[in-house]
Amino acid sequence: MRIVVDAMGSDDHPGPDVAGAVMAARESGDAIILVGDRPRVEAELAAQNTSGLKIEVRHADEAIGMKDSPSAAARDKRQSSMHVGLGLLRAGEAEAFVSAGNTGGILAVATLRQTGVGRIPGVLRPAMGVIFPIESKPLLIDNGANSDAKPEYLLQFGLMGSVYVERMLGIDRPRVALISNGEEEGKGNQLIKETIPLLEASGLNYVGNIEPKEFVRGAADVAVTDGFTGNIMMKTAEAVAGYMSDTIRKYIMAGTLTKLGGALARPALQRVRDQLNPDEVGGAPLLGVNGVVIIAHGRSNAYAIRQAIGQARRVAERGIVAAITERLRE
C-alpha cells in the first residue's frame, strides 16, 4: 500500500513525522511518500536506518502552519505539503493521506476537488471520528471539523460513524446515541431536539440521548455531537487522564510504603496508562471525504505518527470510503 505522510504537519516537524513514517514502513512494508521541504526531510531520513524501506520524498515549497487561516491557506498556499500530498491521493498515486497539521487546513484543502479529494456525493459536511482509548472503544463524531452544525449534519455523522464502527470494529448494528446534558428526550439544546426525530426515523440503531459519563461507561458504540462539543470532550478527557496519572505518581512517590505499593501495582498501572494513552489511537479519520484522510494530533510524537499511518492502512483496506458511498445511495 502507498501512504502519503505530510512531513511538515506536526508541531515539531519534520522530526516526528519522518521518524514515525520510518517506523511504519519498517513494520508494514508499505510504500511511504513523505511530502515537505526536501532538504529538511532528507536530513531527518539520513539520521534513520532506512535500508530496504520503500520511502520516497516529494518536495513542497510551502507549509500550512497552525496559526494560518484555513481558508486563506487553502487558497493562497497552493504549493503546501497538504496540497501536494492530497493531490497525490486525488491522482491515485496513493491510497491514504496522513497529517498532524492544521485541522482546518486539512479540511479546507481535502474537501475542494480542485485541491483535494472532494466530498463523497451526498455528504453535507465531513466529520472527524475518534475512537476513545477506553475498554468499550466507542466512536465520538464529530471531533472538531464542524463547530456549528445542523440536525441533518448530525444525522449523517451517525450514519458515517455507524459504517466506520461496523467495518473497523466488527460491530453489527452499532448503537448510536446523541451527546446531551441528560438522557431524557426533553433535555438538550435546539440542535439536539431537532436531531432526535431524524435519528429515530433513520433506520440506525438509535438508543437515545446519553450524557458524557454514560459515553465512557459504554452506553453507545457511536456518540454523535457537533465538532465544538466533541473537541471539548476529547481535550477534557485527555487533560483529566493526564492529571490523574500525575496525581497517582505524586502520591506513590510520597513515602517508602507508597513506593513499595506502587512497585507492586506497577504492571496494572502501566496497562491502564497504555490504554488511556492518546498516542495509541494515532489519529482521527476525516469521514465524508472521497479518500482516506487521517488527522493526527499536532503534538504527535513518532509513535503516534506510526499509529496514524497504521490506522490509515486499515481504513483503506476495509473500504470505509466505498462503504459510506454505498450507504448514502440506499
Please name each of the domains of the chain with its CATH number: 1-123+288-319 (3.40.718.10), 125-277 (3.40.718.10)
Burial call 89-117: b when 16+ CB within 10 Å, e when fewer: bbeeebbbbbbbbbbbbbbbbbbbeebbb
Indicate if the pLDDT at residue 47 is higher than 70. Answer: yes
- Rounded CA-CA distance 245/268 in Å is 13
Are 150 and 109 spatial neighbours (Cβ–Cβ below 8 Å)?
A: no
pLDDT tens by residue, 267-321: 877 777 776 676 777 899 999 999 999 999 999 999 999 999 999 999 999 999 9
Please give the pLDDT value at position 254. 87
The predicted structure's pLDDT at residue 255: 87
In 212-311, the DSSP E strands lie at 222-224, 283-287, 292-296
Find the helix packing angle between 302-317 and 15-28, rounded to 10°.
Answer: 50
* Cell (9 digits) for 91: 491522482
The pLDDT of residue 259 is above 90: no
- pTM given for the model: 0.92
pLDDT tens digits along 151-200 = 999 999 999 999 999 999 999 999 999 999 988 777 889 999 999 999 99
Q: What is the mean pLDDT of the chain?
A: 92
